[in-house]
Amino acid sequence: MKNNESQSEKTAREAREKRRNRDEKLQVPFHFADRLNVAIKAKGSAICVGLDPRLEQVPSFIKEKQAKLHENPMTIAAESILEFNKGIIDAVADLVPVVKPQVAFYEQYGYEGMRAYEETLWYARDKGLLTIADIKRGDIGSTAEAYAKAFLGKVDLFGKEVFSFDADAVTVSPYLGYDGIKPFMTEARKHGKGVFILVKTSNVSSADLQDLQIKEGNTIYEVMAQFVESWGADDLGKDGYSLVGAVVGATFPDQARELRKMMPNNIFLVPGYGAQGGTATDVAACFNKDGLGAVINSSRGITFAWESSDIFTEKDYAEAARAAVMGMKRDLDGVLK
């Protein structure tokens, strides 16, 4: 391994740590749901931009530029993704409250990819965006604690507590039950962060397990909704929303309507709008009467909007993403009035 840090890298790392520690002290309101709601109101939209960069779809001018700067193909891939993300973030930062990078698309490129993941989270934070690390982790207690510290909390480095990936929220998978969730809630509470638990996912075979009916008559996703509601009940912010949220797919609007009633105080993270088939009418059921309670994610439909456009070329990918966000905003506003 080559790892000797240069003086400029050291200076940058220390400045970042210092700034982050100051920000943490100033962060008001501190509760995740309040922070998210403030951001939603400020931006006038509940849109979450999914940053799921597929290398083959990243504009070639970016890849060509990075290929001139680096030799290792993994590095070229990771740097291309990062540059692409920065363009998207710059283009949408004033329009949306939150972005959600899906970690699988970064892990593909090994540790170089994970460096791009970390830098993407930092860059988004610098531009005033909240971040949801879409990691869907879930494990036994001691392991979940390690994940929770990695993505939400601080890691003990020889007696000094340091943020690692430092997202504002994570997605978590509930197969292992409460002791796999609790460590995430602990870190979330400590650092004004949030946890979105998978309840009803947007994919077709979500039915395999989630739609099974238990003896008492409920489906598994309904049981999970009860868990989410009760696990999050003690951690409400000023607006009455919990730091524990739920992932509820836009592709199942009837279930979403029912789940909205079952979890009135939990924010929904809603994937499945756009490319996966969910419409504005479908996602309308995910909001409460106060106009809050949901963030609607779109990934490919925004980040690769230029591909299905007659107006934009790959050079204008960021502008195309901005236009797509504005279109999505109009679309959602139309059904939410």
Min dist CB 122 to a second copy, Å, is 11
**Closest to 243 (Cα-Cα) out of 155, 170, 163, 139:** 170
Cβ at position 293, least distance to a second copy in Å: 23
The pair of structure tokens assigned to 298 is: 């779109």
Q: Are 202 and 272 in contact (CB under 8 A)?
A: yes
111 or 291: whose CB is closer to a second copy?
111
> Within its chain, how far is the Cα of 327 from the centroid?
21
Question: Is residue 136 annotated as part of the catalytic site, yes or no?
Answer: yes
159 phi-psi bin (left φ>0, alpha ψ -120 to 50, beta other):
left
- Cα separation of 300 and 321, whole Å? 10
- 84 part of the interface to a second copy, by CB under 8 A: no
Among 28, 42, 209, 336, binds a second copy (CB under 8 A): 209
44, 73, 327, 334: which one binds a second copy (CB under 8 A)? 73
How far, in Å, CA of 19 to CA of 317, rounded? Answer: 31
Applying CB under 8 A, does 15 fall inside the site for a second copy?
no
Is the peptide bond between 264 and the residue preceding it cis, with omega within 30 degrees of 0? no
The Cα 189–Cα 182 span in angstroms is: 11
Does 38 bind a second copy (CB under 8 A)? Our answer is: no
Tokens 């039915």, residue located: 207
Q: Which of 63, 136, 154, 200 is catalytic?
A: 136
Question: Segment 121-180, which members bind a second copy (CB under 8 A)?
Answer: 136-141, 143-144, 146-147, 149-151, 155-158, 160, 162, 164-165, 173-180
Identify the residue among 203, 281, 308, 313 touching a second copy (CB under 8 A): 203
State which of positions 296-335 bind a second copy (CB under 8 A).
Answer: none
Number of residues binding to a second copy, judged by CB under 8 A: 91
Q: How many residues does the chain have?
A: 337
Of the candidates 79, 61, 81, the one whose C-alpha atom is nearest the C-alpha of residue 70 is 79
Among 38, 110, 316, 326, binds a second copy (CB under 8 A): 110
Toward a second copy, which CB reaches closer, 139 or 319? 139
57 binds a second copy (CB under 8 A): no
Would you please indicate which residues are annotated as catalytic (active-site) residues? 136
